[in-house]
Amino acid sequence: MNSLSYKIGLGYFIIIILNISIAIFAVYHINQLSEPIDQILKENYRNIKSAEQMKEALTSQEMIQLTMVERGMDSSLVNNFRHHKTEFNNWHENAVNGISLPREPVILDSLKLLYSNYLQKSDSLQNFILCDMTYKESKSYHFIIILPLATEINLLCVQMKELNEQAIFNADNKARGISFQANALIGTFSVFAILFSIIAGIYFTQSIIRPVNKTTETVRKIRRGQFNQKIPITTNDEIAELGIEFNRMTDRLDKHIRDVSGLKKLDQMKSDFMSTISHEFKTPLTSINLTIDILLNQKAEQLSSQQKELLILAKEDCTRLTNFARELLELSKLESGTKPMHFEKINISDLIDFSMQPFKIMREQKSITINVKLNPVDIELKGDRNNLSRVISNMLDNAINHSKQGGRIDISASQENDNLRFSIADQGVGIPAQSIDLVFDKFIQVGSARKKGNIGLGLAICKEIISMHKGKIWVESELGKGSTFIFTIPFGL
């Protein structure tokens, strides 16, 4: 099979070969360019420096001898003269070791001979000064005998320096020539490689894009509802395999769409049923509840104790059904997005205090301690006060119901980046791990959460309210140690 990976691999192989060729060509010419540069740095520069240092040492010796002529002999002057003599000889030896030009040996031999003669004459001058030669005679001897030698030595040093500078100049010209030639050749070769890569890239790209464009056009038709579309198979590569699988997918998609349409209708029927039931329950339940109240309040003396007990039980059932209808209707509105939200600025501390008030007697009966921790203390956010209070009340009701006698509940609110993080933690029995993902589902009561009058809609309503605030709600629990219900809401609603 002439696969897509083969086509792409062939294109990459050609580009890699071109790049390797350019790299080898460039490395070869750079190596040629580095030869004169190495020569400049290692040989000629060392002898330029040696010539300068010998000249400097000789100048220092001349200054010392003039001082001797003017002031007379001094041991420090003699020591300094010898020190510079050592320096001159060391630099001369360094220059000999760095000989790289044909004329350098002649210059260095001449330097050695002249400097030896210079030292002999300098020793003679110093002896004359010690033997009380007059100032005029000493100065004349230096001027006539020693100074011409020093001048000649300086000239030879200058010659050696200029000779090496010329060599550097020549090497630099050679390097520039090689560089220009290399740049021209590499540039030409690179232009050819680029043109070839562009042509090859266009060819390979078109061979890949053409079937992809056909696939894209087919997808657009399917998006417009033409689910009977098929991708034409014109190649024998991965794109063709994709087309075959895509055609199979459209067949399955057409079938699933018909199934999904039926499920949507069923889900809508369920929502409509829940809403209708809730509405239909409210009116008769209100009437029944009112009738029971009239019987219990106005006809109590005509009823037997058994009749009263039955009426009280009936009223409790009516209340439970009324709460069920109310919660069912509210959940239906939340799910359909028809429940209005009134967003306003809320102080979290005030919201917690308001939500805790209905549970005062309940927590006192169980001797439960509630700790509230706010960070920072004055947290404010924009939200629906009544609905958020309902979420907190539901979480607090669960925490109190599942706490042991004398237990503790921790309420915490803090700012995390751009979100409010709110949590209520209890020390109750906890939730089994396999049930944690179910607690926010409708009509679900997990473990000890099952109790009379609880229909399992509270946490489902909480989840929908938090979703309306663009937040998240979840629970963390460990069996036997308690549960922590947490939600986060962005501040910038």
CA distances from 465 to 166, 334, 359, 385, 477 (A): 88, 7, 21, 11, 22
Which residues make Cβ contacts (< 8 Å) with residue 441, sequence separation at least 6?
460
Q: Which residue, among 359, 438, 435, has the nearest Cα to 401 in the 3D structure?
A: 359
Could you read off the pLDDT tens digit of each residue along the chain, which spans 493 residues?
Answer: 456 566 666 666 777 777 787 777 666 666 655 555 555 556 688 888 888 999 999 999 999 989 988 888 888 998 999 999 999 999 999 988 888 888 989 999 999 999 999 999 999 988 888 888 888 888 999 999 999 999 999 999 999 999 888 888 887 787 777 777 777 777 787 787 788 778 877 776 777 677 777 777 777 777 776 666 777 777 776 667 777 777 777 777 767 766 666 656 655 555 565 556 655 565 676 767 677 777 667 666 677 778 777 777 777 777 766 766 676 767 677 777 777 888 999 999 999 999 999 999 999 999 999 999 998 888 999 999 999 999 999 999 999 988 989 999 999 999 988 899 999 999 988 888 888 888 888 777 765 544 545 567 889 889 999 999 999 999 999 988 899 999 999 987 6
Q: What is the DSSP letter of 440?
A: T
Smallest CA-to-CA distance from 329 within 364, 293, 285, 392 is with 285
pLDDT of residue 290: 72
Question: What does the pLDDT read at residue 442?
Answer: 78
Nearest Cα neighbor of 410 from 385, 427, 392 is 427
Q: For 474, phi and psi rounded to 5 degrees?
A: -155, 175
Predicted confidence at residue 267, as pLDDT, reads: 55
Beta bridge partners of 347: 380
Domains and CATH numbers, the chain: 4-199 (1.20.120.1730), 341-490 (3.30.565.10)
pTM, whole model, 2 decimals? 0.45
Percent helix, strand, coil in the chain (nearest 5)? 75, 10, 15
Distance between CA 349 and CA 413 in Å, rounded? 9
- Cα Rg for the chain, rounded, in angstroms? 51
